[in-house]
Amino acid sequence: MNCIVLDQGNTSLKWGFFINNSLVESGRILDNNLSLELNLLHSKHSLPFFYSSVRSMAEQTEFLNRFSFCRIIPEDNFPAFRYASGVAGKDRLANVAGAFKIFEGSESLVVDFGTCITYSVAQNNALISGVISLGAQSRLRGMHEFTGQLPLIAFAESAEPFQNSTEGAMLSSVNFGILSELKGYIDAAMIQFPDIQIVFTGTDAVHFAKQLNCRIFVEMNLTLIGLYAITCANES
């Protein structure tokens, strides 16, 4: 199936151009450029556009009214989620579908680095459990907004755990705090499923994967791959 898949997150929209089951091109559109760039993309590709979003229903409706050439991806073939309460986000379910497509049914722990860091434990193309944590930039913003004098800084690598500057100390807490968190959850997942596949995706996936001493598969377009698999299932 040939199509464009759209994944609207909290601050931007990612798109993937799929031909015959392969992702051949992808990109990201920031909110302030959405009308111009998405309409240009549509004029360039005379293909079906399929859309999924984690935003509110009101925002999704507004988007579909603005861009009538887009079709929402029905929920019918999204992976199941085994929750006692609450509803799993479509982005997490798409990640489960993407991991299932890549690893052909193996259990997986998908870690998605964004505004929040989500940990999704998947088995048989279903989300069975997970964790939601603050992302790197969200932690830095929280330190700034909930204190009187800590500055707002951008996330960057921090090589040493103990620092001799305010900015360095803030960056260290985020870097090493997230690293410790990752190690703990990966160890717990491997106790539950010794052969589990560890998959990183999202903004800071490469940064943290290279600092961990374990086998990690990094796929920056995992959510798009999962949404494409769901779209194909819906259209078949």
Spatial distance between the Cα atoms of 40 and 33, rounded to a whole number of angstroms: 11
What pLDDT, in 10s, does the model give residues 116-160?
999 999 999 999 999 999 999 999 999 999 999 999 999 998 888
What pLDDT, in 10s, does the model give residues 107-124?
999 999 998 999 999 999
Spatial distance between the Cα atoms of 236 and 217, rounded to a whole number of angstroms: 29
Asked whether the predicted pLDDT for residue 66 surpasses 80, the reply is: yes
Q: Which residues of 140-175 are buried (b: 16+ CB within 10 A; e: fewer)?
A: bbebeeeeeebeebebeebeeeeeeeeebebbbbbb
Full set of structural domains in the chain with CATH: 1-72 (3.30.420.40), 78-236 (3.30.420.40)
What pLDDT, on a 0 to 100 scale, did the predictor assign at position 236? 64
